[in-house]
Amino acid sequence: MSAQRLKRSEDFLAVRKGGTSVATQSVKLSALISEKKRLGVITPKHVGKAVTRNRMKRVVREHFRQHQELYPLADCVVILKVSAASLSNAILRKEFEKALFHLKAKLKGEEK
């Protein structure tokens, strides 16, 4: 999995500045077209305590591992908002899938 993760701050910054973004109430998702699928997750400290932030990151990373076919060939950065902290794992997953669906549609529109 580590080969599929964004780790360097330069990579995160490149995706956030030059990529395409969509947002829902609890999730902001940015993507920059690349040669492989990679994921980075950001949960600011004001979202909650470490246990809460880590739970949310695990949910997103697990979705990425299990549903590779849903993701565009891009570097993706997920920013979890404060409202995501109160969501159950299942609802957070649905919210994330909704953002992913909108992002894929937006990326397809840009290709044309």
pLDDT in tens, 77-91: 999 999 999 999 999
13-19: long-range pairs with CB below 8 Å, 24+: 14/75, 15/40, 15/75, 15/76, 15/77, 16/77, 19/74, 19/75, 19/77
**Domains of the chain (ranges, CATH numbers):** 2-106 (3.30.230.10)
| Mean pLDDT value across residues 35-39 | 93
Say what the pLDDT of residue 79 is. Answer: 96
pLDDT of residue 2: 57
pTM (2 decimals)? 0.89
pLDDT of residue 41: 96
